[in-house]
Amino acid sequence: MSWVILVLSGALEAVWAAALHRTFRAKGSKRALPALLFLISVLASTGGLAVAMQSIPTGTAYAVWVGVGVVLTSAYAIVSKIERPTAARLLLLGGIAACVVGLKVVA
C-alpha cells in the first residue's frame, strides 16, 4: 500500500508543479484557483511522501517520488506545448521512468 501512496504522491507533485505554473501565468482573480490547487496538492503530496517513508527507505522513497513527479510534469509540459518533445528529452525521461521501476524491483 505504501508504494501506491508514494506513486500517487509523486503524481500530485506534477499537479502542484502545473498549478504553480498556471498561478504565475494567470492574471488577476484567475490566480486564486490554481493557487488553491497548488496549496492543496503540495500538502497532500508531501504528506503522502511522509506516510510512504514510514515503510520505504528514505532515499528510495524520495527518488521514486521525484522521478514520478518529473516524468509527469514533463509530460504535462509537452502536452501543453510548453516544452518540445525532442528525442533526447523523451529518451532521458524514459530512463528516469525505468530507474523508478528499477527501484521498486530491488526494494
Cβ atoms of residues 15 and 37 within 8 Å: yes
CA atoms of 16 and 102, how far apart (whole Å): 25
- Please tell me the predicted confidence (pLDDT) of residue 30: 77
For the ranges 11-25, 27-41, 91-105, which has the lowest average pLDDT?
27-41
> Where does residue 64 rank: exposed (0-12), middle (13-18), buried (19+ CB within 10 A)?
buried
- Please tell me the predicted confidence (pLDDT) of residue 32: 87
- Mean pLDDT score, 29-53: 93
- Mean pLDDT score, 57-85: 95
- Please tell me the predicted confidence (pLDDT) of residue 36: 94
Domain count, the chain: 1
pLDDT in tens, 79-97: 999 999 999 999 999 999 9
pTM assigned to the model: 0.88
> Whole domain around residue 57: which residue ranges?
2-106
